[in-house]
C-alpha cells in the first residue's frame, strides 16, 4: 500500500520508504492510502480471539500487501510478548493497562513493532546500517532503545538532557550497551530535539550515514497502536459491556489517539473519543474555537503530555477532511491542572484502591466527569505509576512498590557520552562513528 503526505506536495511512498524516511519530503506526515474496514465476521467473534490474533488481523489490513504473512505474524507476535489487561476501576470505568511491557509504558508497542519491521527491510534489501536518532525527555528513549536492542543493522543514538530525566528513566536507556548509545546533552530537551532536527537537515551527514527517526511521526510506530483498541473492545465484549464504549486517551503528540481513530474507521464500534489534556490544552482550545494555535509547552506532573504543537494533529485533520465539525462530532476534550490531576490520583487511590499515574489520571477523570447514562468508559493507562515514583508518593503519601522489571534496570551500570548542545560537536562525533 502507498502512503501519501498530509501536505500533499510530495510523491506517494511505499511502506518501506515511509518507515525509513519517517517524514515526507514536503515535511508532511505519511498516511496510508486506504483504511480497510475489517469484516463483520471478525467483530462477531472478536471476544474469542487472543490479543496476538486480533493484532495480526489489524496489522494485515495495514501491512499485509507489503510484508509476507509469516514475517508479519512473527513481527506482531514478537512485539506483543506481554498482556494489555482491561481492569475495572469502578462499575462503568475500565483501565486499559498499557504498562506491562519491558519499559512499562505504551510506547513499547510501537517501539518494538517499528524495530522489527525496520530490521526486516534492512535484511531484505541488504542495506547498510541505519541509524536511529531519538531525542527524549524520558519514555520515548527507553521504549525505542529497548525495542531496538540487538536488532541487526540498526544503531540507536538516544539524546537526553543532562540532569532533567529521572534516574529510573535514565537507567532504562543508558545501561543497555550493544547497538544503543546514550548521549547526555548539556542542555534542555528542546536542545536535544534541535540537534536531531539539524542532523536530519545536514547534507554531509546524510551522505555519510543513513539516518531515521523513531518518534510517533513514523507510521511503523504509530499504526500498531491501533492493536490494543481492538483488544480493549474484545475484553469489554467478553464482559458483556461493549455496546456503548467510550474511549479516553491522555494525549500529548496525539499519536496514540489517532491510532484509535483509525480503528474506528476500520469498523471498531467505539461510540466516541475523549482527548484528555493537561494544561497544554491546544487541542481542547481547537475543539472550542475551531482555531488551532500552537504555543510553547508548560511543565506539568503529566510530563509526557507537555506538548505545545502536537505533531499528529495534521493526521487528525486529514482523517476528517479538515472539518472541525466532523472532528468535534467524534472527539471531545478536557483540560486539567496539576492540582486536579493530583486530587484525582489521591481520591481514586482512597476510594477504589487503584493507583493511577499522572497521565492515566487525566483519562480517568475525563470519563468520571463526562460519561453519559448507559455509556461504559475505557481510559488508556499509558504508564506504570512507579515510573513517576517521587510525584506519586508525594501525592498519595505512601511508598510505591517498584516492579521487578524496573528494579532490574536500576542495577545496571550507566554508560553515556557527554555532549555539548552545539551542533558542530554532535556532527563531528557522528562523522567519526
Ligand atoms: C507519550 C506519552 C503520552 C502521550 O501520547 P501521545 O501519543 O504523544 O499523545 C501519554 N502518557 C505517557 C505516559 C506517555 O509516555
Q: 207 CA to middle of ligand 1, Å?
A: 33
Q: Is 137 in the pocket of ligand 1 (CB under 6 A)?
A: no
pLDDT of 127 strictly over 80: no
Q: Which atom of ligand 1 is nearest to the CA of 249?
A: 9
Q: Is 133 in the pocket of ligand 1 (CB under 6 A)?
A: no
Are the CB atoms for 278 and 335 separated by under 8 Å?
Answer: yes
Tens of pLDDT, residues 335-354:
999 999 999 999 999 999 99
- Is 107 tagged catalytic? yes
- Average pLDDT over the chain reads 95
Q: 382 CA to middle of ligand 1, Å?
A: 7
Q: What is the pLDDT of residue 137?
A: 79
Domain ranges of the chain: 83-104+222-402
Q: What is the pLDDT of residue 216?
A: 77
pLDDT of 194 strictly over 90: no
Q: Which atom of ligand 1 is nearest to the CA of 307?
A: 8
CA distances from 275 to 193, 222, 286 (A): 25, 17, 12
Pocket test for ligand 1, best of 359, 389, 391 (most atoms within 8 A of CB): 359
**Residue 285: CB atoms within 10 Å:** 16
Which residue has the CA at smallest separation from atom 11 of ligand 1?
382
Which residue has the CA at smallest separation from atom 4 of ligand 1?
252
Q: What's the alpha-carbon Rg for the chain, to the nearest Å?
A: 21
Annotated catalytic residue within 107, 171, 368, 387: 107
Tens of pLDDT, residues 287-300:
999 999 999 889 89
Is the model more confident about 296 or about 80? 80
CA distances from 47 to 44, 95, 177, 234, 241 (A): 8, 18, 41, 4, 12
pLDDT of 138 strictly over 80: no
Q: 291 CA to middle of ligand 1, Å?
A: 23
Q: Is 230 in the pocket of ligand 1 (CB under 6 A)?
A: no
Q: Is 250 in the pocket of ligand 1 (CB under 6 A)?
A: yes
pLDDT of 166 strictly over 90: no
Q: What is the pLDDT of residue 322?
A: 97
Q: What is the pLDDT of residue 178?
A: 95
Q: What is the pLDDT of residue 157?
A: 97
Tell me the backbone φ, ψ of residue 6, rounded to 5 degrees: -60, -20
Q: Is 359 in the pocket of ligand 1 (CB under 6 A)?
A: yes
Cell of 223: 499504526
Q: Is 382 in the pocket of ligand 1 (CB under 6 A)?
A: yes
Q: Which range has the worst mean pLDDT, 47-61, 162-176, 245-259?
A: 162-176
Tens of pLDDT, residues 38-47:
999 999 999 9
Q: Which atom of ligand 1 is nearest to the CA of 138?
A: 15
Q: 41 CA to middle of ligand 1, Å?
A: 33
Q: 350 CA to middle of ligand 1, Å?
A: 25
Instruction: Pinpoint the alpha helices (H) of 6-136.
Output: 15-21, 40-44, 51-63, 69-79, 107-125
| Predicted confidence band of residue 25 (pLDDT cuts 50, 70, 90) | confident
Is the model more confident about 27 or about 397? 397
Q: Is 384 in the pocket of ligand 1 (CB under 6 A)?
A: no
Q: Is 251 in the pocket of ligand 1 (CB under 6 A)?
A: yes
Q: 432 CA to middle of ligand 1, Å?
A: 34
The mean per-residue pLDDT over the stretch 116-139 comes to 89
Q: Is 252 in the pocket of ligand 1 (CB under 6 A)?
A: yes
Q: What is the pLDDT of residue 269?
A: 98
Phi-psi region of 98 (alpha: psi -120 to 50; beta: other; left: phi over 0): alpha
Q: 252 CA to middle of ligand 1, Å?
A: 5
Angle (deg, nearest 10), helices 139-148 and 107-125: 40
Is the model more confident about 140 or about 38? 38
Q: What is the pLDDT of residue 165?
A: 84
**Residue 313: CB atoms within 10 Å:** 21
* The pTM of the whole model exceeds 0.85: yes
Q: Is 107 in the pocket of ligand 1 (CB under 6 A)?
A: yes
Closest C-alpha to 277, from 258, 301, 305:
305
Closest C-alpha to 301, from 359, 236, 214:
359
Q: Which range has the worst mean pLDDT, 119-123, 318-322, 332-336?
A: 119-123
Q: Does domain 83-104+222-402 have CATH number 3.40.50.1100?
A: yes
Could you give the 3-state DSSP secondary structure of residue 78? helix
Tens of pLDDT, residues 270-324:
999 999 999 999 999 999 999 999 998 898 999 989 989 898 999 999 999 999 9
Which residue has the CA at smallest separation from atom 8 of ligand 1?
253
Amino acid at each position: 500500500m502507498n502512503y501519501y503526505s498530509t501536505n500533499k506536495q510530495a510523491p506517494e511512498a511505499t511502506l518501506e520508504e515511509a518507515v525509513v524516511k519517517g517524514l515526507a519530503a514536503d515535511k508532511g506526515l505519511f498516511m496510508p492510502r486506504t483504511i480497510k474496514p475489517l469484516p463483520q465476521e471478525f467483530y462477531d467473534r472478536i471476544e474469542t480471539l487472543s490479543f496476538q490474533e486480533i493484532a495480526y488481523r489489524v496489522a494485515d489490513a495495514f501491512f499485509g500487501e507489503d510484508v509476507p504473512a509469516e514475517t508479519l505474524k512473527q513481527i506482531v507476535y514478537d512485539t506483543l510478548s506481554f498482556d494489555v489487561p482491561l481492569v475495572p476501576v469502578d462499575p462503568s470505568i475500565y483501565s486499559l493497562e498499557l504498562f506491562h511491557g519491558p519499559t512499562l509504558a505504551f510506547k513499547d508497542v510501537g517501539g518494538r513493532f517499528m524495530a522489527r519491521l525496520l530490521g526486516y527491510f534492512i535484511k531484505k534489501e541488504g542495506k547498510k546500517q541505519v541509524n536511529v536518532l531519538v531525542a527524549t525527555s524520558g519514555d520515548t528513549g527507553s521504549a525505542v532503545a529497548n525495542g531496538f536492542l540487538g536488532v541487526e543493522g540498526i544503531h540507536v543514538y538516544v539524546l537526553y538532557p543532562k540532569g532533567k530525566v529521572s534516574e529510573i528513566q535514565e537507567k532504562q536507556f543508558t545501561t543497555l550497551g550493544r547497538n544503543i548509545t546514550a548521549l547526555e546533552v548539556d542542555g534542555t530537551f528542546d536542545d536535544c530535539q534541535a540537534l536531531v532536527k539539524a542532523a536530519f537537515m545536514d547534507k554531509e551527514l546524510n551522505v555519510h550515514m543513513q539516518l531515521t527517526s523513531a518518534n510517533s511521526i513514523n507510521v511503523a510506530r504509530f499504526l500498531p497502536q491501533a492493536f490494543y483498541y481492538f483488544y480493549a473492545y474484545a475484553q469489554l465484549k467478553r464482559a458483556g459491556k461493549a455496546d456503548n464504549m467510550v474511549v479516553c486517551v491522555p494525549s500529548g503528540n496525539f499519536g496514540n489517539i489517532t491510532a484509535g481513530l483509525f480503528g474506528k474507521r476500520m469498523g471498531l464500534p467505539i461510540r466516541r473519543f475523549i482527548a484528555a489534556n493537561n494544561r497544554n490544552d491546544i487541542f481542547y482550545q481547537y475543539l472550542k474555537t475551531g482555531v488551532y494555535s500552537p504555543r510553547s509547552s508548560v511543565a506539568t506532573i503529566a510530563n509526557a503530555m507537555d506538548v505545545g504543537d502536537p505533531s499528529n494533529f495534521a493526521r487528525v485533520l486529514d482523517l476528517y477532511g479538515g472539518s472541525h465539525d466532523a472532528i468535534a462530532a467524534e472527539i471531545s476534550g478536557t483540560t486539567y491542572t496539576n492540582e486536579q490531576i493530583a486530587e484525582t490520583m489521591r481520591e481514586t487511590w482512597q476510594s477504589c484502591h487503584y493507583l493511577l499515574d499522572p497521565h492515566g489520571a487525566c483519562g480517568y477523570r475525563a470519563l468520571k466527569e463526562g460519561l453519559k447514562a448507559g455509556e461504559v468508559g475505557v481510559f488508556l493507562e499509558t504508564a506504570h505509576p512507579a515510573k513517576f515514583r517521587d510525584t506519586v508518593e508525594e501525592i498519595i503519601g505512601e511508598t510505591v512498590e517498584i516492579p521487578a522489571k524496573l528494579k532490574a534496570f536500576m542495577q545496571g551500570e550507566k554508560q553515556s557520552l557527554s555532549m555539548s548542545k552545539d551542533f558542530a560537536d554532535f556532527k563531528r562525533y557522528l562523522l567519526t562513528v
